[in-house]
Chains A and B, each alone.
Chain A
Amino acid sequence: MATEVIVRDRPRTAAGTPPGARKDPRKDRGRVLRLYVPLGLYLVFTLVPFYWMIVFALRPTGSTAPVPWPITFEHFDTVWNDIGYAVFFKNSVIVGVLSLFFTTGIALMGGYALARFRFRGRTVFLVVLLCTQFIPGAMMLIPLFTIFKGLGLINSLWSLVIAGTVFNLPLSIILMSGFVSSVPFQVEEAAMVDGCTRGRAFLAVVLPQLRPGLVAVGSFAFIDTWNTFLFALMFISRQDNFTIPVGLSYTIGEYSADFGALAAGGVIAAVPVVLVFAVIQRYLVHGLSAGAVKG
């Protein structure tokens, strides 16, 4: 079956260009100066440390060449096999993924409760949640250590998962509460009128609309736990349970500094974070703005 497509010409101005059409960006010098030059400079400024890292990771030890040539993968071999990144990487993934799931799950429930129910002490609870953000992790080190020791969790990856989840939860709950508020209750109510239970209505109507929020909260939890150094070193005293940040610090010794290995380790540590951002960045911007201003 053929479909007829009607193409209508845009009305043209006297000069022959459609109204509202932009000038050719290549010829708009002002736009280039206003937009592209500052953006380009900022990009160079931001990417120089990454370039430095890649150069050091790929060029041979002792080379002072500004480009990574000849390319060598010896530093990657050192960190992966000699320093033990193969094990550290696996541990970091376990801790990061579990923390992501627990943080997102609990934040979802907490955020929903704060957004949908009015109960006594709600404001105080929110303020207390906010206040916990001002307590530095180092201050909680000894109390947490004692608690985990009592629970038999010292030297277990669970200590890092729990600590990561607990430290990420306050901000995550506040953010999630904003996301839930942005979904009109009437939509949920309509589903319940149609026969859904509250849980079913939440799963069928609210949850799909929270996707940006889930991505934002989950990615923050993952990245924060992925980068945790202090807890990873203090709660773990077994070589095969350390995580990537501890492995990175191995490359700077008392009397030696292996910059090639440090840079190669940095590349390995950065890859998952960069990938996570690449996948989620379109949700992230929307998610943050939606969660930040409503609540």
Chain B
Amino acid sequence: MRRITKVCSAAVAALALCVTAAACGSDSGGGGGGGEGSGATTITFWDNNGGVRTPIYQELIKRFEAANPTIKVEYVGIPIASVQQKYDTAIAGGETPDVGGVTTSYLANLTGQQALEPADAWLAGSAVNGKVLDSMLASVKQATPDGKLYMVPATSNLDVVWYQKDKLAEAGVEAPETWDEFFTAVGKLTKTPDQYGWTIRGGAGSIFQLLAEAYAYSGVTEFFDASGKSTVNDPANAELVGKIAALYKKATPEADVTNDFPKMVAQFTSGKVAMMHHNLGSYNDHVKAFGAEKIDAYPLPVGASGKRTIVANPVDGFGVFKNSEHKEAAWKFVEFLVSKENNSYWNQQTGQIPANKDAQQDAWIDERPYLKSAVEVLADPATVVVSPPYHLPQFSSITKADTEPLFQKVLLGQMKPQEFLDTMGQMLTEAQAEWKKSHSN
């Protein structure tokens, strides 16, 4: 017995020693720049949606390092749900990366902390000058108070309705063009409890999708009118919210009231829901579940105004951080990522719209009808783009914590659609007035 105890103690001591040595060993290096002894510069790149995209970036980094042997890129994947907190902590601690993935939805927060380097001067002298879509550049500039370009766009997105082709064919339904056709199609596709025509995002992230549907229906062209009052509570918007809420439990699963994005996609990919509103980004999930030939997508239908109206999705791109000690290498990496070939590769893998104009001409886009039509919608001069006020610091909290529970009340019949939108409209109007006041000098 004593012998066993001794052997166990020795084993535990050996394990502790090994583990300590391993922990010490993993301490080597250190992020963010510095030479490697061979004269190479190391830059750190934070991917703001780490995980699914990791293999894509690993391939691109391999290509970049082959083309630029003096620069090494250290990839760090940050989980999307925590990326803002990670950036905030890194900024507070002065440990930011050289290059980071950034989107317009939290760009104002980063520039507010003076964390990013403006890209205007660099872009003017860069090989990709004139190659990046002007509409995306405009979106980025609109998101910051001083109108400068703090990130270089790489991709954009569009709200679409994903559908299972065979379910629509069985019901004799064509992809709807107008909202009237849409509601008729939902009715025809619903065969409860085995199949639902539609699914509502009632949980986290519900408001952005709902607003995209409302503005597409109403055809209202601006988020604020000339006096600075929010147009969110336009009666036509409220009409659409009422119509969507009326589908709840009749043509949608009951669990929709708490549906966040993963649950909504899980419902759709389980095959029980025929149509689902999301954006181009979930393409790979659907292909994995059904196969590319069985799914397709159409842009959000057109309302009574006859004008195709879309709410601009956040633009995703890359920013160089002010703290970077290797800005030249960092910009070189950004330039590489948004160049035609690499921007095309990235977007082909993720199923999104390239920011590089030349990349948009590539053959793979023509091979995907849903993507081709999305590119056409965005490029069509007749398309009205409603820009959400990403510049408002409160925009995120208003459209999430403040109003998501209210939409759930609407779905449960405890609140009227107009009352819900009036509340949201008032918050947005007040936030806009406050922002204007603080930026009037």
Residue-by-residue, is A71-105 near B (CB-CB < 8 Å gives 1, otherwise 0)? 00000000000111000001101110110010000
Please name all residues of chain A whose beta carbon is closer than 8 Å to the beta carbon of B271 when the two chains form the complex.
Answer: 64
Point out the residue from A97, A241, A252, A258 that lies within 8 Å of B81, measured CB to CB.
A252
Interface flags, B65-100, vs A, CB<8A=1, else 0: 000000000111111111001100110111101000
The docked-state distance in angstroms from the alpha carbon of A182 to that of B94 is 49
With A145-B93, A257-B262 in contact, do A157 and B278 touch (Cβ < 8 Å)?
Answer: no
Inter-chain contact A250/B270, CB cutoff 8 Å? no
Alpha-carbon separation in the docked complex, A93 to B22 (Å)? 10
Interchain CB contact under 8 A, B82 and A97: no
How far is the CB of B46 from the nearest CB of chain A, in Å? Answer: 7
Q: Which of A83, A153, A233 contacts B82 (CB 8 A)?
A: A233
Q: Are A256 and B29 in contact (CB under 8 A)?
A: no
Whether A155 and B53, one on each chain, are in contact in the complex, defined by CB atoms closer than 8 angstroms, is: no
Residues of B within 8 A of A259 (CB): 262, 266
B130 at the interface (CB under 8 A from A): no
For B76, the chain A residues whose CB sits under 8 A away are 237-239
B281 at the interface (CB under 8 A from A): yes
Known A-B contacts A62-B290, A97-B15, A158-B27; A253 and B53 likewise in contact (beta carbons under 8 Å): yes
Q: Are A256's CB and B265's CB within 8 A?
A: yes
Q: CA A157 – CA B19 in complex, angstroms?
A: 11
- Chain A residues with Cβ below 8 Å from B22 are 90, 94
Nearest chain A CB to B84 CB, angstrom units:
12
B285→A257 contact, CB < 8 A: yes
Within 8 A of B (CB), among A209-236: 233-234
User: Of A90, A95, A142, A255, which one neighbours B279 at CB under 8 angstroms?
Assistant: A255
Interface residues of B in 206-265 (CB under 8 A from A): 261-262, 265
A62: nearest chain-B partner, CB-CB: B289
Q: Do B95 and A149 have beta carbons less than 8 Å apart?
A: yes
The answer, yes or no, to whether A141 is at the interface (CB within 8 Å) is yes
B79–A256 touching, CB < 8 Å: no
- 1/0 per residue A198-216: CB within 8 Å of B? 0000000000000000000
User: Does B412 count as interface, using CB distance less than 8 angstroms?
Assistant: no
Min CB gap B13→A, angstroms: 10
Query: Are A94's CB and B23's CB within 8 A?
Result: yes
Contact with A along B269-310 (1 / 0, CB 8 A): 111000000111110110011100000000000000000000
Residue of A nearest to B30 (CB): A155
Q: Bin the interface of chain A by size.
A: 35 or more
| Nearest residue, chain B, Cβ from A257 | B262
A62–B287 alpha-carbon span in the complex (Å) = 10
Please report which residues of chain B, range 118-170, place their CB below 8 angstroms from some CB of chain A when the two chains form the complex. 157
Instruction: Give CA–CA (A102, B384) in the complex, Å.
Output: 62
Q: Which of A39-61 contact B (CB under 8 A)?
A: 61
Q: Cβ of B30 and Cβ of A256 under 8 Å apart?
A: no
User: Do A101 and B97 contact each other (CB < 8 Å), given the known contacts A155-B30, A233-B82, A255-B279?
Assistant: no
Q: Tell me whether A254 and B49 are in contact in the complex, defined as CB-CB below 8 angstroms, given that A62-B289, A98-B19, A233-B82 are known contacts.
A: yes
**What distance in Å separates the Cβ of B280 from its nearest Cβ neighbour in chain A?**
8
Contact B288 A62 (CB under 8 A): yes
Is B95's CB under 8 angstroms from A154's CB? yes
Q: Let me know if B393 is at the binding interface, CB within 8 A.
A: no
Give A252 to B266 CA distance when docked, in angstroms.
12
Chain A residues near B288: list those with CB within 8 A. Answer: 61-62
Complex Cα gap A250–B76 (Å) = 12
Asked if B281 and A256 sit within 8 Å, CB to CB, the answer is yes
Is there contact, CB below 8 Å, between A234 and B16? no
- Chain A residues with CB below 8 A from B279, complex form: 255
Residue of A nearest to B22 (CB): A94
Partner pick for B93 among A95, A97, A146, CB 8 A cutoff: A146
Q: Which residues on A sit within 8 Å (CB–CB) of B86?
A: 233-234
Q: Is A161 an interface residue (CB 8 A)?
A: yes
A residues in contact with B262, CB < 8 Å: 252, 257, 259
13 contacts between A and B (CB under 8 A): A97-B15, A98-B19, A101-B16, A142-B93, A145-B93, A156-B27, A158-B23, A238-B74, A246-B79, A250-B51, A253-B80, A255-B282, A256-B52
Identify 4 new A-B residue pairs, CB closer than 8 A, beyond the known A61-B288, A255-B285: A95-B23, A234-B86, A251-B51, A258-B285
Closest 6 A/B residue pairs (Cβ)? A255-B281, A250-B51, A257-B262, A249-B79, A156-B27, A253-B52
